[in-house]
A = this chain, B = another copy of it.
Amino acid sequence: MKDERLLIKEEQVLERIERARRRKARLREQAITLAHGSGGKASRTLVEAVFLESFGNPLLAPLDDAACLSIDGAALAFTTDSYVVSPLFFPGGDIGDLAVNGTVNDLAVSGADPLHLSAGFILEEGFAVDDLRRITASMRRAADEAGVTIVTGDTKVVERGKGDGCYINTAGVGVTRRPPSGDVRAGDAILVTGPIGEHGVTIMLARGELDIEADLPSDTAPLNGLLESLGPFAVRRMRDATRGGVATVLNEIATDHGLAAVVEEEAIPVRPVVRGACELLGIDPMYVACEGRAVIVVSGEDCEDALATLRAHPLGAEAAVIGRIKDDPPGLVLLKTAFGGTRIVDLLVGDPLPRIC
């Protein structure tokens, strides 16, 4: 994959910007493909061409991790995610804690304190009750760790061959305390809260599709405590880097704000086992899902203090500053490689790793 990417040339950049400007989301496919669930370009097009087109309203339009609502005088955040990860159990976690942590994190990066979750189960006929108990016990532990309660739920059962054991949807509500300011600007620093790509690689290894033995657990974790610690700082944006990885989050930030995200390859924390697995798979760790890492844009001034604060928390011990926001080229993510080159980090069309969450 690395080899396919282009070294940056100014005319290419200009052309791409012009293309983005002309683009109106159009879904060309007549049938859903796995790429539409990847978090990449195909997902984005589906969301814009079908969901935004049908549901379009000012609260949905930002397409953020959570919707910000004002209800009866309260400032609330509301979010949902379905989980279809395969396998259901993997080193460091399972679909249950993933479903809790994922929704907790969507609220946390919106600057909300996660409070209550719903849990909707779609079970396949024949699914082992013991596995279900293991999953619900894991959800309870994750909920306790994040300080949330599961307050409402639903269970549907589908016939054998119409599901895959267990799918879970969680929705979550929280109270918005410290929303990121949203005014990303040139000079801001870009941080990640820890090494990237671990969840995705763990799932790949758990599927046994690679002949590697590695002692790597998923990074699934609730980020609300860690992100709350950034309260004193000028935080502009926060996103959790799930499907599509850090590269996708950076692209969304660059596009949303019409600015450039320029990151240093050498500054991005990647564990050797993740790097090795990614090389064998021919994918870039920048595109691999995390389930317990956030990308944070903070003012340049607060960068060092924010980093020190993150590192003081067990879930942020390996946090790093990975780059800066710049004015040019607007809407693009640039990676400065270890060899002194610069290349565009684009959105992928699909995901090399389907059903990662």
Contacts and interface: CB of A to CB of B under 8 A. Distances in A.
Interface of A: 27, 29-38, 43, 46-47, 50-51, 53-55, 57, 59-60, 66-67, 69, 71-76, 78-84, 115-116, 118-130, 132-133, 136-137, 139-140, 143, 149-159, 161-164, 167, 169, 171, 173, 175, 354-355
Contact of A175 (B37, B72, B82): B72
Contact of A80 (B83, B130, B162, B169): B169
A152 B74 contact: no
Nearest to A149: B57
Nearest to A46: B155
Contacts of A79: 118, 152
Contact of A30 (B46, B130, B163): B130
Contact of A154 (B29, B54, B80): B80
A347 to B, nearest CB: 16
Interface centre among A143, A149, A175 (most CB of B within 10 A): A149
11 contacts: A32-B124, A33-B125, A35-B157, A51-B153, A67-B151, A71-B115, A73-B73, A80-B120, A80-B171, A120-B171, A154-B169
A123 B27 CA distance: 16
A36 B57 CA distance: 37
B118 A156 contact: no
A211 B154 CA distance: 33
A173 B82 contact: no
B152 A67 contact: yes
